[in-house]
DNA sequence: CGTACCGTTGAGGTGAGTCAAAGTAAGTGG
DNA sequence: CCACTTACTTTGACTCACCTCAACGGTACG
C-alpha cells in the first residue's frame, strides 16, 4: 500500500496503470467494443514507430511491450514496459504529435487499437474518462524522480538493482525463503538502454553484483538469493 | 544523424503554453473570474512547495517562476521556467499527488490560484477544456527529448548553449546584426541545476565558450556576438 | 561451416565530480 | 562611510565512473 515508496513509482516506469474502461456508459462500452481493432504481434514486432503520425491509442490485452526511442544523436533510450491492461501511445495522441517512441513486442502480444475519433467520442461519453486520462498522463513520468532523472546521480550498480526491483512483479518468481528468480525478457543492450549506459557497463556491473553475492546472472535468468540484499544495494532507506 | 528543429522542443522546457481560457463559455469565464485568487509574490517567494498537497492549479499573470525539485538523494534539479499566461501545478493536481516540485518567483510575480473544485467545474463547462489540458500535459516533457533525457549523452557545453537558445525568447534581446544580449534571471547554481551538473562545471564551461568566442558572460549578462555560432555549437540546422 | 548477433574482457582515455581555497559582490549594522 | 557577514563565483588539483575501441568467445541459424 506504500505506493510512493515502491520501485515502480520510484523508477517512473509505470505508463499509467490499468485502463478503466469500466467508467464507460453502456453505449460507450458498445462503441469501444465495435470500433477497437485487435492485433496479434510476434516477439520483436513493432506496434508503432517513432516518427509515425499518431492515429489513436493502444491498449495491451496480453504480453509485454517495450517503449524506446532514438534521440537526434543516435542514443537509444528505453523508457517503459507496458503490461497487459495498460495504455500506450496516448501521449502522442493527445499532444497531436508524431509518436515519440517505438513500441515493440517483447513477447507475443495482443494489442487493441482505438482510433482518435473513437477516443474523442469516449471523452464525450463520460467526463470521468477525460479525468481518468488526465490522471494517467499526469502520473506518467512527470517531474517526479524517474529513471532518467536519476541517471546523473546514481551509480549504475544502484540503477541496475532498482531496475530488477521494478521488473520483479512482472518477471520474477518470489519464493517463500526470500529467493527471487527472474526470467528477463531483455537483452543486455536493452537493459543498457533502460539505464542510459553502454552494454559493456552492464556486463561489468553484473560481474560486480555477482562478486558481492547480490545476484547471479545466467543469460536472461537472474537468481537473487535474498531480496533484502537487493533492497539494501538499491538504497531504499532513502527518504522519498 | 537527425538534426533538431527547435530548442524549445529539444529541451522540453515548455510547460504547456498559453492558457486558453477563451475556450470557456460565458458562464465558465464568469466562474473562473469569481473564484480565482490573485496573489502577488516577491522575488524568491515560494508559490507552492514540493511535498505540499496539491489544491488546484496556478496561472502566472506576470513575472517568471522557476520549478525545481530535490530528489531523495539531495540533488536539486530545475526543470522549468513558467512564463506569463502559462499554467503550473497542473500535473500534481490531476495526478492527485503532492507537488513534485517547488515553484519560486524568479522576479516579482502575480499568480492566479484556481482550486481543484473550480477546475473540475471548468472541465464540465466545456469538453474542449479537458482536451486542452490533455494536450498541454501530453506535450509537457514527455518521452520526447528533454533536458534530463539528454543529460547522459551530451557534453555540458552543448547543453548550456541549448539552454541559452531556450531562454532566448524570454530573456534576450536580439539585435539586427545577429547579436544577442541576455539578462538572465538565473544564478550559476540554478543554471547548473537545469543542466544536472555542478556550478563549478558551469563556470568552466562558460570559460570554454568565451575562449571559443561563442559568448561572453559578465555576471548574469551574456553577450553573444553571432547567433549562428550558438546554433552551430548546439548542433542545430538552420532554424525552420 | 560460415555468418551474424550477443555477450564478455581488457586497455586506455576523459568529462565531470569532489574538495579545498581564494576572490568577489551584496547586504547589514554601527 | 566603513567593518563585517554572507552568499555567490571562480580556480586548481585530484579522482573516478563510465565511455570508446578492439578483440574474442559463445550460440543460433541458415
Distance in Å, alpha carbon of B204 to nearest chain A alpha carbon: 19
Q: CA A206 from chain center: how many Å? A: 22
Lowest-pLDDT range, A69-73, B53-57, B134-138? A69-73
pLDDT tens track for B159-214: 899 889 888 888 899 999 989 999 998 999 999 988 888 999 999 999 999 999 99
Q: In angstroms, what CA-CA distances link A45 with A40, A91, A162?
A: 10, 21, 27
Which residue gives the smallest C-alpha to C1' distance to C8?
A: A203
Nearest residue of B to residue A193, measured between CA atoms: B152
Backbone angles phi, psi at B99, to 5 degrees: -55, 130
Mean pLDDT of B142-155: 55
Confidence of residue A152 (pLDDT cuts 50, 70, 90): low
Pairing mode of beta strands A65-70, A102-105 = antiparallel
Q: Which residue has the cell 548553449?
A: B161
Confidence of residue B42 (pLDDT cuts 50, 70, 90): confident
Which strands form A56-62's sheet, in the order they lie side by side?
Answer: A37-41, A109-115, A56-62, A87-88
* A76 burial via Cβ count (<10 Å: 0-12, 13-18, 19+): middle
| Chain A residues 91-120 within an 8 A CB cutoff of chain B | 91-97, 100-101
In this predicted structure, the answer to whether residue B148 has a pLDDT above a threshold of 50 is no
Q: Which residue has the cell 525478457?
A: A185
Q: Is the CB of A123 under 7 A from strand D?
A: no
Residues in chain B: 240
Cβ contact B143:A69 at 8 Å:
yes
Instruction: Tell me which chain B residues have a C-beta less than 8 angstroms from the C-beta of A96.
Output: 135
Give the span between the Cα atoms of A49 and A46, in whole angstroms: 7
In this predicted model, which residue has the larger pLDDT, A137 or A17? Answer: A137
Cα(first)–Cα(last) distance of chain B, in Å?
A: 17
Cβ contact A147:A11 at 8 Å:
yes
Q: Check A130 against B134: CB less than 8 A apart.
A: yes
Q: Is the CB of A71 under 7 A from strand D?
A: no
Backbone angles phi, psi at B193, to 5 degrees: -65, -25
Instruction: Tell me which chain A residues have a C-beta less than 8 angstroms from the C-beta of B126.
Output: none
Query: For residue B197, which nucleotide's C1' is closest to its Cα?
Result: C16
Q: What is the pLDDT of residue B8?
A: 45
Q: What is the pLDDT of residue A170?
A: 84
Q: Check B130 against A135: CB less than 8 A apart.
A: no
Q: How many CB pairs under 8 A join A and B?
A: 136
Distance in Å, alpha carbon of A203 to nearest chain B alpha carbon: 19
In this predicted structure, the answer to whether residue A52 has a pLDDT above a threshold of 60 is yes
C-alpha cell at A62: 496480453
User: Which residues 6+ apart lie within 8 Å of B135 measured at CB?
Assistant: A94, A95, A96
Distance in Å, alpha carbon of A177 to nearest chain B alpha carbon: 30
pLDDT tens track for B113-133: 999 999 999 998 888 899 999
| Chain B residues 166-205 within an 8 A CB cutoff of chain A | 196-197
Lowest-pLDDT range, A71-85, A165-179, B155-169? A71-85
Lowest-pLDDT range, A147-156, B7-16, B38-47? B7-16
Lowest-pLDDT range, A25-34, B101-110, B143-152? B143-152
Q: What is the pLDDT of residue A209?
A: 95
In this predicted structure, the answer to whether residue B237 has a pLDDT above a threshold of 60 is no
User: Which residues 6+ apart lie within 8 Å of B63 measured at CB?
Assistant: B41, B84, B105, B106, B107, B108, B109, B110, B111
Which residue gives the smallest C-alpha to C1' distance to D16?
A: A155
The winner for highest mean pLDDT among A10-14, A79-83, B1-5, B9-13 is A79-83
* Residue from A6, A143, A146, A235 whose CB has the most chain B CBs within 10 Å, to mutate: A143
C-alpha cell at A80: 517503459
Residues in chain A: 240
C-alpha cell at B71: 530528489
Confidence of residue B221 (pLDDT cuts 50, 70, 90): very high
- Please give the share of chain B, as a percent, with pLDDT higher than 90: 44
Q: Is the CB of B191 under 7 A from strand D?
A: no
C-alpha cell at B29: 469565464
Name which of A127, A138, A149 is nearest B94 (Cβ-Cβ).
Answer: A138
Our measurement of CA B235 to C1' C20, in angstroms, reads 36
Angle, CA of B146, B151 and B153, to the nearest 5°: 110
Q: Check A101 against B154: CB less than 8 A apart.
A: no
Q: What is the pLDDT of residue A141?
A: 62
Angle, CA of A162, A164 and A166, to the nearest 5°: 70
Single pTM value for the model: 0.82
State chain B's mean pLDDT as an integer.
Answer: 83
Residue A223: strand pairing partners: A181, A216
Cβ contact A43:A106 at 8 Å:
yes
Query: Which DSSP string do the residues of B173-200 spell out, in sequence order?
Result: EE-TTS-EEEE----HHHHHHHHTS-HH
Mean pLDDT of A92-109: 90
Confidence of residue B35 (pLDDT cuts 50, 70, 90): very high
Residue B218: other Cβ atoms inside 10 A: 7
Give the span between the Cα atoms of B126 and A139, in whole angstroms: 23
Cβ contact B230:B159 at 8 Å:
no
Q: Is the CB of B76 under 7 A from strand D?
A: no
Q: Estimate the share of chain B in helix, then strand, then coil, as percent rounded to the nearest 5.
A: 40, 25, 35
User: Which residues 6+ apart lie within 8 Å of A159 measured at CB?
Assistant: A147, A150, A151, A195
Cα(first)–Cα(last) distance of chain A, in Å?
A: 15
Q: What is the pLDDT of residue B174?
A: 92
| Chain A residues 25-84 within an 8 A CB cutoff of chain B | 67, 69, 71-75, 77, 79-80
Nearest residue of B to residue A139, measured between CA atoms: B95
In this predicted structure, the answer to whether residue A98 has a pLDDT above a threshold of 60 is yes
Q: Check A152 against B149: CB less than 8 A apart.
A: no
In this predicted structure, the answer to whether residue A78 has a pLDDT above a threshold of 90 is no
Amino acid at each position: 500500500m506504500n505506493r510512493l515508496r515502491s520501485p515502480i513509482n520510484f523508477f517512473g516506469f509505470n505508463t499509467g496503470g490499468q485502463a478503466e474502461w469500466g467508467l464507460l456508459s453502456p453505449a460507450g462500452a458498445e462503441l469501444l467494443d465495435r470500433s477497437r481493432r485487435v492485433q496479434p504481434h510476434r516477439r520483436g514486432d513493432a506496434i508503432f514507430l517513432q516518427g509515425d503520425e499518431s492515429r489513436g491509442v493502444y491498449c495491451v490485452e496480453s504480453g509485454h511491450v517495450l517503449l524506446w526511442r532514438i534521440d537526434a544523436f543516435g542514443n537509444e533510450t528505453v523508457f517503459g514496459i507496458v503490461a497487459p491492461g495498460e495504455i500506450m501511445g496516448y501521449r502522442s495522441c493527445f499532444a497531436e504529435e508524431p509518436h515519440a517512441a517505438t513500441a515493440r513486442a517483447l513477447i507475443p502480444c495482443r494489442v487493441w487499437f482505438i482510433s482518435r475519433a473513437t477516443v474523442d467520442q469516449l471523452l464525450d461519453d463520460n467526463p470521468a474518462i477525460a479525468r481518468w486520462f488526465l490522471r494517467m498522463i499526469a502520473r506518467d513520468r512527470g517531474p517526479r524522480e524517474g529513471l532518467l532523472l536519476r541517471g546523473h546521480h546514481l551509480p549504475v550498480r544502484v540503477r541496475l538493482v532498482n531496475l530488477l526491483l521494478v521488473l520483479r512483479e512482472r518477471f520474477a518468481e518470489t519464493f517463500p525463503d526470500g529467493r527471487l528468480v527472474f526470467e528477463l525478457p531483455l537483452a543486455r543492450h536493452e537493459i543498457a538502454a533502460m539505464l542510459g549506459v553502454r552494454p559493456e557497463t552492464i556486463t561489468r556491473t553484473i560481474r560486480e553484483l555477482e562478486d558481492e553475492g547480490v545476484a547471479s546472472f545466467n543469460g536472461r535468468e537472474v537468481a537473487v538469493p535474498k531480496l533484502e540484499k537487493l533492497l539494501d544495494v538499491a538504497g531504499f532507506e532513502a527518504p522519498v
